[in-house]
Amino acid sequence: MTKTNDLAEAIIVERTFDAPVERVWTALTDVNEMAQWYFDINEFQPEIGCEFEFVVEHEGNSYHHLCKVTEVIPQKKIAFTWRYKGEPGNSLVTFELFPEGNKTRLKLAHTGIETFPKTPAYARKNFEAGWTAIIGSELKQFVESSKAKT
């Protein structure tokens, strides 16, 4: 059973990649690279105020994401709001990069999911599983492969 306080805690996913910060930053901020590991986003610029959207199909449902970049520190941090079209709630996703020699430690924080509808589709475990797969598998494989720009 999930307590209300558990929902209010940030989802944190941290991984270390065998790739330099520059490579990881490009994967996080270049729309063409994002399409290869994240989602197919038509318009994106790593600039404060940039609004972008994407649709995810999951278990027969469509989730239309609406996002707006709120913070950019090149090679270090990017944050954006994350909400769903036609649904209440608003959250914040933050990616932070930390150089560790020729490797990069990435910390993702997703806060505010408790503001979304209290339905199984928006359950904390779904966000945790999604971010773990996206960061721990998709992004990791992409930045450590030869497909990513250096």
In whole angstroms, what is the distance from residue 75 CA to residue 114 CA?
29
pLDDT of residue 149: 57
What's the whole-number average pLDDT of the chain?
92
- Note whether 21 and 148 are within 8 A (CB): no
Q: Write down the domain spans for the chain.
A: 4-143
Q: Supply the Cα-derived Rg of the chain in whole angstroms.
A: 15
In whole angstroms, what is the distance from residue 53 CA to residue 51 CA?
7
Q: Kindly indicate the confidence band of residue 47, based on its pLDDT and cuts at 50, 70 and 90.
A: very high
User: Considering only the top CATH level, what class is 4-143?
Assistant: alpha beta
Q: Which residues contact residue 114 at a Cβ distance below 8 angstroms, ignoring those fewer than 6 apart?
A: 4, 7, 8
The pTM assigned to this predicted structure is: 0.91
Q: Kindly indicate the confidence band of residue 103, based on its pLDDT and cuts at 50, 70 and 90.
A: very high
Q: Kindly indicate the confidence band of residue 150, based on its pLDDT and cuts at 50, 70 and 90.
A: low
Q: Kindly indicate the confidence band of residue 42, based on its pLDDT and cuts at 50, 70 and 90.
A: confident
Q: Kindly indicate the confidence band of residue 58, based on its pLDDT and cuts at 50, 70 and 90.
A: confident
Q: Kindly indicate the confidence band of residue 4, based on its pLDDT and cuts at 50, 70 and 90.
A: very low
pLDDT of residue 93: 98
Q: Kindly indicate the confidence band of residue 60, based on its pLDDT and cuts at 50, 70 and 90.
A: confident
